[in-house]
Amino acid sequence: MPQLDTSTWFITITSMIMTLFILFQLKISNYLYPASPESTELKTQKHSTPWEMKWTKIYLPLSLPLR
């Protein structure tokens, strides 16, 4: 059975990885990104819910006074 020639594998794999890297860089460079995401101000809307006006407190079982 003949021996498998692996002498060209390194250059083949290296060139494939470099080609994929270049292709992905070209694809990514076509996207338009905003200059600074922090500059856009988000408008917060005030939702009126019935429980906003009430004062509530959750008591943990261990924080209750001893009987």
In the chain, domain spans: 7-59
With a cut of 50, which residues of the chain have pLDDT below it? none
Identity of residue 34:
P
Cα distance between residue 29 and residue 22, in whole Å: 10
50 DSSP assignment: T
User: For residue 16, which of 4, 7, 24 has the smallest C-alpha distance?
Assistant: 24
